[in-house]
Structure 1
Amino acid sequence: MENVNVAELVERLGSDEDAVRKMAVFKLQNSIGDPSFADLFITDGGLTRLRYLTLHASGNTLAYSLTSFARLLDVDKGWDCVDQELVQRIVELIVTHPLVNILRGAMSILVSIVSHPSTGSRLSQADLFGFRALKPAIAIYPQFLEMLVSRLSSADHALCANALQLINSLMRDSITHDSEAEWPKFIQKLQDLGVIRAVYVLMQDSALQDLAHPLLEFQALTKVLLRKWRDILMSQEKPEHRRALKGIYLASLPEKSPGEADNDDETRRSKRHHPDRWKRLGFESESPTMEFYEVGFLGMMDLADYVRSHQDEFQKMLLEQSTKPSRQRCPIARASLAVTAILYEHFEVDKSELEDSKSYLMMESRSSLDRLFRPLLLHWTRLHVAGLQAFFRLWKATAAETEDLDKIVELVRILVESVVGGAARTKDVQDVEEELADFEYHRLRELQMELLELTYEDAWGQHLRQVREELHHEALQFVKEQRIRCLLQGVWFPLDVNSRSESGPEKSTASHQYVQLSHNRRYLHFGKFDSIGNRAPELDTLPEKTAPRQPSTKITIHGYASSGATGHTKGHGHVRSGSRTTQKEVVLLTLRPSSHSVASEWLDGLLMLLNQQPITAETTKLIDLVSNYGLKIRLLNVRFDDATFAGEAPPVPSRHGLDEDYFYDVFGGA
């Protein structure tokens, strides 16, 4: 600032030569952002000359003048020169001028004007600030908003940022100061002009960092809008609310009883007193406005949009539901309200802008904005429709009834968290809609159980880990008993040529051997036979009695032969692990199981009989399966807040109606 002579600069701004004015205003734009310089500039009469250039200059002189004026307003100086003539000139430039450097400065000036608070101003004309300051000029240039939205598609990121900042300022001022009847019209006009789609594209752009601040503000304003709509309570006293309800009702094609078609008064009277007028549409009662309490007018907007955009589907569903018993009918209206509430919670709409701003500062320092920006929030309506259709699909797939409503709502909540919450910033909304439609019910149930375990893990921590260990031990004992019982039952094993001569020098004609564990579980009894005879238990359960195969799986049992055993047709072998130094260890028995399942049963059964760990994948999988099911059964039978019981224990369930002959506790014993 010390290198610039303010008085000389002001004098040059009033020169008759454009080149002199251009150089002066070029220097001015680099210094005017200093408040002390701005004060000297205004004191020396520079503000009037800058205003004149803003109104009448062209080319680069105009561009530098607009930038200088915008920076002057940024330091809260120069408001004395803001009037309708200036505002109209700026609006005209935005509508008619093609040069980017002029548009940037013009938009920055309007952002300051729209955002400037009128209170405390020396000007008595409050209409010079806020959105209302632009309305007279917009009346002259009605294409202003359309041109403004179109600038969001500019290849110049700085111009996109300026345009979005101005849109944000107009939205915020309208939401804050316009009446309840006015601001929704303005927001709807912007949406009709394509602002949602344009901002959505910018949020998915690779140059997100250049537009982060205005995009974050637009996202925050979207939440503000959703909150305002949610906070508007439904009321039959409001004409627009009555019209919305009536539109939904008429779209349902209500049937007329005989004689109503020729008498409009009678028709209205009949509809008014129809006992199931609103329940038929899926409301819980005949006072529908009361059911919008949680989601307000936002819920009505979502339901009305679905009915309007998918009217054929809506009418078809109502027709199908009308043929079912009342308890099996899908409650369309309540489902819609539930999906609205799910989306509202998922996107944290109640989260304040200050929290979002703090998150932005943290994320910016990590050079990662993907988690902070939520482009899908802008497509709220499409997500609501996709979520509602997923609700209908789940209701049908599970054959749900009225009492299952909360369960289906919870499944949809998990679905939204998984698909919408797991979507990358660059994922297109159409892909998300398709994934919501194709997500399989069984996958969703598995995900629900995983989330349930995580929920209880957070609540119970060490207690839940202890339960897992106990259940794993119980499962291990359960599978051990199952495997050993397979040994107790006995199994036929086919013999190959080499196995037939293992017991002596003479060639044996035996083709099979039967092996069974003794009842005291201390010995394996086995014998070789020419054929499978009747002495084998339950022979009708063996699938291939006459055509035994030679599988590759082989189990060899080593031990010490008994002195009296001949080894011709039958014998016994010890399975205990004690050593004998006086006897030579030999192969007592070779088993060739007919399948992997039989191999798993006998190999792990023998190991577990010796209190060793099982080694086959099939047994391990079975143990895990039993253990996991045990945990899930326990979780599904315990409320979440059971983890926080303090003092008084829950009441013991009554056994009223049960006799003394039957009592069974799955995990605690009889």
Structure 2
Amino acid sequence: MENNITELVERLGSDEDAVRKMAVFRLQSSIGDPSFADIFIAEGGLTRLRYLILHASGNTLAYALTSFARLLEVDKGWEFVDQEVVERIVELIVTHPLVNILRGAMSILVSIVSHPHTGSRLSQSGIFGFRALKPAIAIYPQFLEMLVNRLSSADHALCANALQLINSLMRESITNESELDWPKFIQKLQDLGVIRAVYALMQSSALQDHAHPLIEFQSLTKVLLRKWRDISLDLEKPEHRRALKGIYLASNSERGLEDGNDVRRSRRHNSEKWRRLGFESESPAMQFEEMGFLGMMDLADYIRNYQDEFQKTLLEQSTKPAQQRCPIARASLSVTQILYEHFEVEKSENEDARSYLIIESRSNLDKLFKPLLLHWTRLHVATLHAFFRLWKITGAEVEDYEKIVELVRILVESVVGGAPRTKDVQDVEEDLADFEYTRLRELQMELLELTYEDVWGQHLRQVREELHHESLQFVKEQRIRCLLRGAWFSDESLNKTDIIAITDSTWKFVQLSHNRRFLHFGCFSSIQSKALELDTLPEKLDLSLVSSVVSNISAAPDDASSSTVKSVSHLHVPSTKITVHGYHKSTSSVENSEPSDGHTRSASKGTQKETVLLSMCTQSPTVASEWLDGLLMLLNQQPITAETNKLINLVSNYGLKIRLLNVRFDDAAHAGESPDVPSREGLDNDYYYDVFGGT
């Protein structure tokens, strides 16, 4: 093996380019083996490889760069990394068009920038980290611009290498640069369009080819947000003081006051100069404790980019009572915190690192990548506008602030969290602006129920069961009262083919007795305008004789199977027919026995044949539902119509929501006092009192 390496080293120093090219081509496939690399360095191969990097061209240069990059990856050859090599690599990236040369050059720089800050030789020479590139970048200032431009390259490997190098530069800058230098570097990258380029890569169909550097960039974005959040607002620092002063000056607070020379008014205004902008006190720095300088940046960006809107909003707010004003600065900080929590910015890099394992599965890519995170500022502004809109349409006051925050949190989870990877940020902004308040409240109630379900579990299920039973009893009473009121039905014999025939048919009026034990009915030639009394109905049906009810009304799918009622389905029927089946009362039966709960039966029923006791036809689905389910519930059977079951669920759900929200009349009611009922003195019959809305 040593003989082969010795021969390879000799060929690297050949005067013939073809020989050198073949030797370095073979070298690139073997140099990644540490044992091979040790022998190669011992034989003096590294000196000749370095010479090729500095002076070769074409494929020979490309193979040499790849070989040296792989040598650095196994942590060898660092003693030959000096400023001359770094400057040559930077020059190639800026000036050379060949893709295979650029790939190797970028890989070398990634290793140099990312190399650990240990080792005596490296500590002395300082050829590592971001500062190793600074002298070369000073010579080639277009380096960063060319690097960002490579992110749009059609060659996916080159694109990935460029992003990997950008990641290394960002991480090194954030970790080791001074507090003044790293923000400038990050800002320069953003000004060159790195966010736009990476966002396009995250949304592209070639995501798999760039997955590893993209997930690292996403992780670094969170690192940046955390770092800004961890910087406390310090008014002793000039840049922090300037940022806060810029917010105040942008409010245009003094215009119009001094023009009138109203000194007293100006002083009164200045006494609330920060509260006027939406801060909770006149010490605004205290409100940035939670979100740090990140909160300041978001607020300043909004005011700088929407200064006219900001001033107009402040002017509108100044005309309202203090309790009704939307606190702009406080809202901005809350939106920052909502986005911070939504994107899980506090998630450690170790947890993000586990995402590399998920990358191998294409089906998980859409869940893993969050392109919208890169457009943090735009999302902040769009969400803040949504906050203002919700505050306005709900008529919120300061005491309702946390309720609006919760609505905005749900809005972000729904719109931003529900957006697919390929959805454009502009579409997300429009969705945030157009999301309906009613739908947002529905989502809030669903989330509230799920939350209580998780926390209370069995107790909540018990509450649901109790409410369902109460709702069933409530609707049962409502349906039976419809029977007590009575209803008109057409004669079935004239209602088989033509609906119009009903107008000339015989009409039947059916009504339940007050003791709920008999159905009274009678036939009439026309519908009577005045209410009929029970004693005017010549026929009556003892409900204790009823065995079943047959109807062609559509049953609710979930409940029909559990009912003992027969439901016959007919197509194209002109009306709903309800038929009551049972047994005629035998003369030998005990006439003194009184029906009690609908289950009492005469002794002869077992030997009698079931017959039709009463039939009713109606054109109204509502009446059909009321009477069919009313009869069933009167006989202690379950309702089957969709309309009745929908009503039961509606009453039950409202009961649950009222309990969860703990709705009361007002504070007085909460203290055990009844709300005041207004006097009716001097009022006519058109007056009414709305318990929820007042007079």
The verdict on a shared fold, with TM-score over 0.5 as the criterion, is: yes
Q: Is the 8 A contact 1:26 1:64 kept in 2?
A: yes
Match of 1:166 in 2: 165
Match of 2:507 in 1: 512
2:68 alignment partner, SS class: helix
Query: In structure 1, how many angstroms separate the alpha carbons of the residues matched to 2:270 and 2:346?
Result: 39
> Following TM superposition, by how much is the alpha carbon of 1:534 offset from its aligned partner in structure 2, in angstroms?
6.2
The letter for the 2-side match of 1:143 is Q
Query: In structure 2, how many angstroms separate the alpha carbons of the residues matched to 1:474 and 1:240?
Result: 64
Identify if the C-alpha distance between structure 1 residues 272 and 527 changes in structure 2 by more than 3 Å, giving closer, same or farther.
closer
> Following TM superposition, by how much is the alpha carbon of 1:217 offset from its aligned partner in structure 2, in angstroms?
0.8
Match of 2:564 in 1: none
Say whether residues 1:484 and 2:509 are aligned partners.
no
Q: Is the 8 A contact 1:327 1:402 kept in 2?
A: yes
Q: Which moved more, 1:276-285 or 1:222-231?
A: 276-285
The letter for the 2-side match of 1:217 is E
Deviations 1:589-614 (A, max 9, x none): 33333522121111110111011111
Deviations 1:15-71 (A, max 9, x none): 111111111111111111111111111111111111111001000010011111111
The letter for the 2-side match of 1:82 is V
Say whether residues 1:313 and 2:309 are aligned partners.
yes
Say whether residues 1:341 and 2:323 are aligned partners.
no
Deviations 1:608-651 (A, max 9, x none): 1011111111101001111111121222239xxxxxxxxxxxxx
2:580 alignment partner, SS class: strand
1:433 alignment partner, SS class: helix
Q: Is the 8 A contact 1:284 1:334 kept in 2?
A: yes
Q: How does 1:416-431 map to 2 (within 5 A)?
A: 416-431=412-427
Match of 1:64 in 2: 63
Query: In structure 1, how many angstroms separate the alpha carbons of the residues matched to 2:650 and 2:672?
Result: 34
The letter for the 2-side match of 1:317 is T
Query: In structure 1, how many angstroms separate the alpha carbons of the residues matched to 2:432 and 2:529?
Result: 59
Q: How does 1:527-606 map to 2 (within 5 A)?
A: 527-533=522-528, 535-536=530-531, 552-560=575-583, 578=601, 580=605, 586-606=611-631
1:592 alignment partner, SS class: strand
Match of 1:667 in 2: none
> Following TM superposition, by how much is the alpha carbon of 1:496 offset from its aligned partner in structure 2, in angstroms?
6.9
Query: In structure 2, how many angstroms separate the alpha carbons of the residues matched to 1:41 and 1:323?
Result: 81
Say whether residues 1:401 and 2:397 are aligned partners.
yes
The letter for the 1-side match of 2:13 is G
Q: Is the 8 A contact 2:299 2:332 kept in 1?
A: yes
Identify if the C-alpha distance between structure 1 residues 230 and 530 changes in structure 2 by more than 3 Å, giving closer, same or farther.
same
Deviations 1:120-153 (A, max 9, x none): 2324435321111111111111100000000011
Q: Is the 8 A contact 1:271 1:277 kept in 2?
A: no
Q: How does 1:58-457 map to 2 (within 5 A)?
A: 58-256=57-255, 258-259=257-258, 274-364=270-360, 368-457=364-453
The letter for the 2-side match of 1:553 is T
2:364 alignment partner, SS class: coil
> Following TM superposition, by how much is the alpha carbon of 1:514 offset from its aligned partner in structure 2, in angstroms?
2.5
Query: In structure 2, how many angstroms separate the alpha carbons of the residues matched to 1:655 and 1:349?
Result: 43
Q: Which moved more, 1:524-533 or 1:311-320?
A: 524-533
1:622 to 636, 647, 653: 647
1:461 to 430, 444, 457: 457
Query: In structure 2, how many angstroms separate the alpha carbons of the residues matched to 1:486 and 1:211?
Result: 69
Match of 1:35 in 2: 34
Q: Is the 8 A contact 2:407 2:444 kept in 1?
A: yes
Deviations 1:529-581 (A, max 9, x none): 3444465079xxxxxxxxxxx961222233456799xxxxxxxxx98784736
Identify if the C-alpha distance between structure 1 residues 369 and 534 changes in structure 2 by more than 3 Å, giving closer, same or farther.
closer
Identify if the C-alpha distance between structure 1 residues 253 and 271 changes in structure 2 by more than 3 Å, giving closer, same or farther.
farther
Query: In structure 2, how many angstroms separate the alpha carbons of the residues matched to 1:271 and 1:40?
Result: 82
Q: Is the 8 A contact 1:149 1:194 kept in 2?
A: yes
Q: Is the 8 A contact 1:510 1:528 kept in 2?
A: no
2:468 alignment partner, SS class: helix
Query: In structure 2, how many angstroms separate the alpha carbons of the residues matched to 1:140 and 1:528?
Result: 107
Say whether residues 1:47 and 2:32 are aligned partners.
no
Query: In structure 1, how many angstroms separate the alpha carbons of the residues matched to 2:582 and 2:69?
Result: 97
The letter for the 2-side match of 1:519 is H
1:122 alignment partner, SS class: helix
1:76 alignment partner, SS class: coil
The letter for the 2-side match of 1:413 is R
Identify if the C-alpha distance between structure 1 residues 472 and 126 changes in structure 2 by more than 3 Å, giving closer, same or farther.
farther
Query: In structure 2, how many angstroms separate the alpha carbons of the residues matched to 1:272 and 1:221?
Result: 46
1:612 alignment partner, SS class: coil
Deviations 1:76-102 (A, max 9, x none): 111111111111111000000000000
Identify if the C-alpha distance between structure 1 residues 273 and 181 changes in structure 2 by more than 3 Å, giving closer, same or farther.
farther
Match of 2:542 in 1: none
1:525 alignment partner, SS class: strand
> Following TM superposition, by how much is the alpha carbon of 1:495 offset from its aligned partner in structure 2, in angstroms?
4.6
> Following TM superposition, by how much is the alpha carbon of 1:313 offset from its aligned partner in structure 2, in angstroms?
2.1
The letter for the 1-side match of 2:183 is P
Q: TM-score, normalised by structure 1?
A: 0.86
Work out the percentage of aligned pairs sharing the same amino acid.
Answer: 77
Query: In structure 2, how many angstroms separate the alpha carbons of the residues matched to 1:64 and 1:198?
Result: 29
Match of 2:546 in 1: none
Q: TM-score, normalised by structure 2?
A: 0.83
Q: Is the 8 A contact 1:252 1:314 kept in 2?
A: yes
1:350 alignment partner, SS class: coil
Identify if the C-alpha distance between structure 1 residues 259 and 311 changes in structure 2 by more than 3 Å, giving closer, same or farther.
closer
Query: In structure 1, how many angstroms separate the alpha carbons of the residues matched to 2:222 and 2:268?
Result: 37
Q: Is the 8 A contact 1:558 1:588 kept in 2?
A: yes
Q: Which moved more, 1:372-381 or 1:357-366?
A: 357-366
> Following TM superposition, by how much is the alpha carbon of 1:525 offset from its aligned partner in structure 2, in angstroms?
0.9
Identify if the C-alpha distance between structure 1 residues 523 and 458 changes in structure 2 by more than 3 Å, giving closer, same or farther.
same
Q: Is the 8 A contact 1:29 1:67 kept in 2?
A: yes
Query: In structure 1, how many angstroms separate the alpha carbons of the residues matched to 2:55 and 2:301?
Result: 48
Q: Is the 8 A contact 1:118 1:126 kept in 2?
A: no
Query: In structure 1, how many angstroms separate the alpha carbons of the residues matched to 2:504 and 2:230?
Result: 90
Match of 2:684 in 1: none
Query: In structure 2, how many angstroms separate the alpha carbons of the residues matched to 1:126 and 1:401?
Result: 63
The letter for the 1-side match of 2:353 is S
Identify if the C-alpha distance between structure 1 residues 181 and 513 changes in structure 2 by more than 3 Å, giving closer, same or farther.
same
Aligned CA RMSD, in angstroms, stands at 2.9
Q: Is the 8 A contact 1:277 1:286 kept in 2?
A: yes
Query: In structure 2, how many angstroms separate the alpha carbons of the residues matched to 1:531 and 1:254?
Result: 78
Q: Is the 8 A contact 1:29 1:64 kept in 2?
A: yes
Identify if the C-alpha distance between structure 1 residues 490 and 273 changes in structure 2 by more than 3 Å, giving closer, same or farther.
closer
Identify if the C-alpha distance between structure 1 residues 466 and 75 changes in structure 2 by more than 3 Å, giving closer, same or farther.
same
Q: Is the 8 A contact 1:577 1:610 kept in 2?
A: no
Aligned length: 615
The letter for the 1-side match of 2:625 is S
Identify if the C-alpha distance between structure 1 residues 188 and 355 changes in structure 2 by more than 3 Å, giving closer, same or farther.
same
Deviations 1:306-348 (A, max 9, x none): 1122222222222222221111111111111111101100111
2:488 alignment partner, SS class: strand
> Following TM superposition, by how much is the alpha carbon of 1:359 offset from its aligned partner in structure 2, in angstroms?
3.0
The letter for the 2-side match of 1:146 is E
